[in-house]
Amino acid sequence: MSDDPLVVFTPSGKRGRFPVGTPVLTAARQLGVDLDSVCGGRGICSKCQITPSYGEFSKHGVTVEADALSEWNAVEQRYKDKRGLIDGRRLGCQAKIEKDVVIDVPPESQVHKQVVRKRAEAREITMNPSTRLYYVEVEEPDMHKPTGDMERLVEALENQWQLKGVKTDLHILHQLQPALRKGDWKVTVAIHLGDDTHPPKIMHIWPGYYEGTVYGLAVDLGSTTIAAHLCDLKSGEVVASSGIMNPQIRFGEDLMSRVSYAMMNKGGDQEMTRAVREGMNALFTQIATEAEIDKSLIVDAVFVCNPVMHHLFLGIDPFELGQAPFALATSRSLSLRAVELELNIHPAARIYLLPCIAGHVGADAAAVALSEAPDKSEDLVLVVDVGTNAEILLGNKEKVLACSSPTGPAFEGAQISSGQRAAPGAIERVEIDPVTKEPRFRVIGSDIWSDQDGFSESIATTGITGICGSGIIEVIAEMRLAGLLDASGLIGSAEQTGSARCVPEGRTNAYLLWDGSAEGGPRITVTNPDIRAIQMAKAALYSGARLLMDKVGVDTVDRVVLAGAFGAHISAKHAMVLGMIPDCPLEKVTSAGNAAGTGARIALLNTDARKEIEETVRNIEKIETAVEPRFQEHFVNASAIPNSSDPFPILNTLVSLPDVSFNAGGGDGAGGRRRRRG
C-alpha cells in the first residue's frame, strides 16, 4: 500500500490516497466527488469551499492532525477579506493535502446539490441543470499562429473543462472580441451542455469572472391559467413565481370548445397560438421585472401542458385531438429553441416540452408522474390532478396506468349558480349542523368562521361573493351528511328536511347558504342543477379512477394524492362523502399542490430527470376512457352520492350517511321519505 496520505470525503464516503501537495479540488475530481468549481481552481469563484475535520475518526480509521492540509494562503485570505468565508472553511483549490485528512463538502459546494422541498413525502430535486457557467483563460492571438478568437476560446474550453465540440451563435461572435479584451483574455461563459438534438452551445459571455447566475423557467400552461416559476440555475431556488389567465379563454372556456373554435373558424388555431405566445411573453416580462433580472439571462425553459395546449402552443392544429382516435402530432418530448416559438427570452434559449402520455393525457400528466413518482411507490397510489380535465394515474413500482376524464369546469366554480373562482370573498369551507341544519362557513381572506365573533369585521373589505370549488364540494357533502340531500342528488323540501333553508326553486329545491340581499349582497344558494353539475364532474373523475382500478384488478387503493391547485384545498373527508375518490383511510389522502408545476421544475433543474420521465412515459399503460365499455356503467354508478354500487367501508366507520330519499318535484313535500340508518 502506498504511503501517500489518505483523503476521505464526506458525505459521499469516497476515499483515496494522493501525493503530498495535491490540491483538495484535484483529489475530489479524481475520485468523482461532487465539488463545484466555476473558475477551474484559480481561487476566484469560491465554489470549491470545503471543511476539513480534525481529530480521531475511528469510523474512517483516520487521525487528522492540525497540519493535515497546507497552510492558509494569501488567495484564501484575499477572498475572506473581500467576500467573507465561514470559519473553518477552506478553498478546495488552494488547500493542498499534506497528511491523512477527512474533508466535508457542504451542500452549497456540491454541483448536484439537492433542492429542499417543503413536503416531507416529496421527492428531492437533484441539481443538474442544462446550463452551467465556466471561467476560462484564452490564449492571446499570435501573428505566427493565425486563429480566430472563437477557435481559441473553444480550444480553451476543451483543454480546461473537457468540453468538446462547443458551438456558438452569431450574437456571441458580436460580443466575443470586446469581452476577451476587456477581461484581459479571461472570460466567463454560460454553456448549455446540449442534449440529444443540440450540441453544447455558448449562450452568454462576460469579461473576466462573472459573479451572477443564469435562469430557467418552469411553466405550467393550463387551459385556464399559465403559471411560471423563475429558477436560479445555480442554486435551484425559485426567485419569482407569477401567473396569468390563459388569453385563449376568449376562444372557449374548456379544451373542446377551443378545438371546435379551431374547426369552425379558418385560421382559428393560429389565432389561439398567437394569443398564448403573446400571453406567455407578457408573463415572462412580468416575472423578470418582478425578479429585477434581464430577460436575456433566461436560457432554458420547460413547459408542461395538456395535449390541446401543447399543440396550440407549438402552432399545430388540434383538429385530430377532437376526434377518435385522438392522434397527437407527436407524443415525444421536444427540444426546441425559444425563437421557434417566438418567445422573447434569451435569443438562443432552449425549450423543453415533456412527452405526452396519450391523446388526452398530456405532458402535464407526465410532469405529475415525475413529481409524484407513482412508478417508484411501494404501495398502490392513485394520483388525480383535478382540473377541467382530470388526469389520473394509478400504479406502483410494477406498473403505472394513466387516463384522463372530462370533469368540466364545475370544480372550478363554473356552471354553478353561485360559483366563482377561488378568490377573496369566496366561501371555501362549510359545515352544516346535522340537527339544526344551520350552516357556518369560512371565506377566502378570513380565518374566522361565520358564526364566530369578528366575522363581519374580518370580511368587511371582501364581502361574501360566491362559492369556490372546494366550498362547493364541502357544502354538497355536508348537505348529504345532514340529510338535506339524498343519494340520487335531490335536495329535500322544507317539510322533508325540517329546514326552512330548503326553499323551492322551479320544480326542485335549493339550500340557502347565505342571504346577503338585505345589505345589497348576493343570495347564495345551492341548487339542484348545481348538484347535477358536480355529480357529473365527480362521476367522471371517479369512473376514470375506477376504470384504472379494474385494469389493475383491485377494489381499493393504498393511498390517494390530490394534485392541482384545486386538489390542494379539497377536504379528503368531503371528497369521499361525495364519492369523488375511492374509499381510503383519510390519513392516506394527501395533497401535492401544483404537482405538474413541480414536475416542470424538476425537469428544468435536473436534465437527467428529462431522460427519466421519457422512459417512464414509454412504460405507462394508457387507457382511453372514451372507448372502454365499462366507463359508462361506472359513470352511472358514480353519479350517486357517494356511489350506488361501490361500498365505502372506511368512510362508513367515520360518518353516518342518512338514508333519505326525496322525489323530484318534492317542493310540496309529497312523496318524500325519510329514514335514518341504524
Tell me whether residue 321 is exposed, middle or buried, using C-beta atoms within 10 angstroms of its C-beta: 0 to 12, 13 to 18, 19 or more: buried
Q: How far is the CB of 41 from ligand FES (least distance, A)?
A: 5
Q: How far is the CB of 196 from ligand FES (least distance, A)?
A: 30
Cβ distance to ligand FES smaller for residue 39 or 64: 39
The owner of cell 503530498 is 20
Q: How far is the CB of 42 from ligand FES (least distance, A)?
A: 6
Main-chain phi, psi angles of 526, to 5 degrees: -110, 120
Residue nearest to ligand FES (CB): 93
Kind of pairing, strands 101-104 and 6-10?
parallel
Q: How far is the CB of 48 from ligand FES (least distance, A)?
A: 4
Q: How far is the CB of 158 from ligand FES (least distance, A)?
A: 19
Cβ distance to ligand FES smaller for residue 111 or 173: 111
Q: How far is the CB of 172 from ligand FES (least distance, A)?
A: 23
Cβ distance to ligand FES smaller for residue 95 or 302: 95
Q: How far apart are CA 230 and CA 285, in angstroms?
A: 11
Q: C-alpha cell of 48? A: 470549491
Q: How far apart are CA 660 and CA 654, in angstroms?
A: 18
Cβ distance to ligand FES smaller for residue 78 or 174: 78
Q: How far apart are CA 596 and CA 563, in angstroms?
A: 8
Distances (CA, A) of 550 to 195, 407, 547, 606, 628: 39, 20, 5, 35, 11
Cβ distance to ligand FES smaller for residue 85 or 334: 85
Q: How far is the CB of 101 from ligand FES (least distance, A)?
A: 17
The owner of cell 451542455 is 193
Q: How far is the CB of 35 from ligand FES (least distance, A)?
A: 8
Q: What is the largest CA-CA distance in the chain?
A: 106
Q: C-alpha cell of 40? A: 477551474
Cβ distance to ligand FES smaller for residue 24 or 62: 24
Cβ distance to ligand FES smaller for residue 47 or 601: 47
CB 163 within 8 A of CB 127: no
Which run of H or of E encompasses 630?
Answer: helix 629-638
Question: In the complex, which residues of this chain contact ligand FES (CB under 6 A)?
Answer: 25, 37, 39, 41, 43-48, 91-93
CB within 8 A of 54, min separation 6: which ones?
64, 65, 66, 68
Cβ distance to ligand FES smaller for residue 92 or 200: 92
Cβ distance to ligand FES smaller for residue 78 or 507: 78
Cβ distance to ligand FES smaller for residue 85 or 655: 85
Cβ distance to ligand FES smaller for residue 30 or 197: 30
Q: How far apart are CA 481 and CA 658, in angstroms?
A: 6
Cβ distance to ligand FES smaller for residue 43 or 212: 43
Q: How far is the CB of 46 from ligand FES (least distance, A)?
A: 5
Helix axes 149-161, 170-182, angle to 10 degrees: 80
Cβ distance to ligand FES smaller for residue 39 or 383: 39
**Cα radius of gyration (the chain):** 30
CB 163 within 8 A of CB 157: yes
Q: How far is the CB of 186 from ligand FES (least distance, A)?
A: 13
CB within 8 A of 204, min separation 6: which ones?
172, 189, 190, 214, 296, 297, 299, 346
320-323 long-range contacts, Cβ below 8 Å, gap at least 24? 320/359, 321/259, 321/359, 321/360, 322/256, 322/259, 322/260, 322/263
CB atoms within 10 A of CB 43: 16
Q: How far is the CB of 191 from ligand FES (least distance, A)?
A: 17
Q: How far is the CB of 80 from ligand FES (least distance, A)?
A: 12
For every residue of 531-584, DSSP letters joined together read HHHHHHHHHHHHHHHHHHHHHHT-S--SEEEEEHHHHTT--HHHHHHHTSS---
Q: How far is the CB of 233 from ligand FES (least distance, A)?
A: 18
